């Protein structure tokens, strides 16, 4: 992505508004995720893989793996990898990377299609912040994990440690009375750990990772953030043009002199061992 000076309003960046016209990721937003947004969480993926010493002896299943970058990184370490992704466009992008990715129910991964019955590591890197039933999602992840294997859950860190919190607030304000999820709902102390109760999982470690969100320009920032799915309810309720315009305004404090955008963020992860 080439860096460009970004000034003005949404009218100067029509792609950002046009690509929000339909609910869900869609072809445009799915590719924006793969080309712009997914790399922002690489420090999280690498920190988890380093801590668990992911390698040739590891079988990894990524739930809600989107276009599959986390799986590619695990495969590069020699692990056997597979994924589940409910959105067809993202699933196809992952398959274009020669990854084995099947469809899945959005809330109950155990009902999806996967190449094998159980894995030594099941990751839930991106699904929890927007999940309607996170407890059910975690129970499904546990059911796909070998006894003695691990489940990894991840979520945003405390909002006061995330500069993107103010930008994400656009999604809340513009969603009206729809069912928009608070991306920081699991960020409070014990939020992720509480999901382990009753799932046959035992806490086995946790950590925080710095994941700056950095974009070449304002247009890329808007497109990348919209591709996360966290703004879908806002787009449906208020319209894509208005949401994109307010996103641009919220991003202005994070514009750098050359036109790039950077926000410091912290993500938290919990590692759990399946004990039964």
Is position 215 within any domain? yes
Domain that holds residue 163: 10-274
Map residue 254 onto helix, strand or coil.
helix
Is position 20 within any domain? yes
pTM of this structure:
0.86
The enclosing domain of 216 has a CATH number of 3.40.50.150
pLDDT of residue 20: 34
pLDDT of residue 184: 94
* H runs (alpha helix) in the chain: 14-18, 26-32, 42-52, 69-76, 88-96, 134-143, 165-173, 218-226, 232-238, 240-251
What does the DSSP assignment read for 110-160? Answer: GGS--SSS-EEEEEESSSGGG-S-HHHHHHHHHHTEEEEEEEEEEEE--GG
**pLDDT band at residue 114 using 50, 70 and 90 as cut-offs:** low
**pLDDT band at residue 11 using 50, 70 and 90 as cut-offs:** very low
Q: Which residues are paired to 210 by β-bridges?
A: 266
Is position 16 within any domain? yes
Is position 196 within any domain? yes
Is position 4 within any domain? no
pLDDT of residue 115: 55
Alpha carbons 38 and 214: distance in angstroms, whole number: 11
Is position 2 within any domain? no
Is position 5 within any domain? no
Is position 3 within any domain? no
Number of domains in the chain: 1
Does the pLDDT at position 46 exceed 80?
Answer: yes
Mean pLDDT of 21-32: 63
């Amino acid at each position: 992505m080439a860096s460009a000076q970004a000034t003005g309003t949404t009218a100067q960046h029509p792609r950002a508004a046009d690509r929000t016209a339909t609910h869900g990721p869609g072809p445009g937003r799915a590719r924006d995720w793969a080309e712009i947004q997914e790399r922002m969480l690489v420090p999280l993926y690498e920190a988890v893989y380093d801590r668990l010493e992911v390698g040739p002896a590891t079988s990894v299943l990524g739930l809600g793996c989107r276009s599959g970058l986390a799986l590619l990184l695990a495969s590069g370490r020699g692990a056997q990898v597979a994924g589940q992704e409910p959105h067809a466009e993202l699933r196809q992008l992952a398959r274009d990377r020669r990854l084995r990715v099947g469809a899945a129910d959005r809330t109950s991964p155990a009902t999806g299609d996967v190449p094998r019955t159980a894995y030594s590591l099941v990751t839930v890197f991106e699904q929890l912040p927007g999940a309607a039933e996170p407890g059910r999602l975690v129970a499904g992840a546990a059911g796909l994990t070998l006894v003695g294997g691990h489940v990894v859950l991840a979520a945003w860190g405390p909002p006061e440690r995330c500069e993107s919190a103010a930008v994400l607030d656009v999604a809340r304000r513009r969603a009206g009375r729809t069912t928009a999820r608070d991306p920081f709902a699991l960020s409070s102390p014990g939020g992720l750990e509480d999901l382990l109760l009753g799932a046959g999982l035992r806490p086995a470690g946790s950590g925080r990772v710095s994941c700056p969100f950095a974009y070449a320009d304002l247009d890329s920032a808007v497109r990348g953030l919209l591709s996360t799915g966290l703004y879908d309810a806002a787009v449906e309720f208020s319209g894509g043009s208005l949401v994109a315009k307010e996103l641009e305004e919220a991003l202005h404090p994070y514009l750098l002199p050359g036109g790039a955008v950077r926000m410091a963020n912290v993500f938290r992860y919990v590692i759990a061992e399946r004990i039964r």
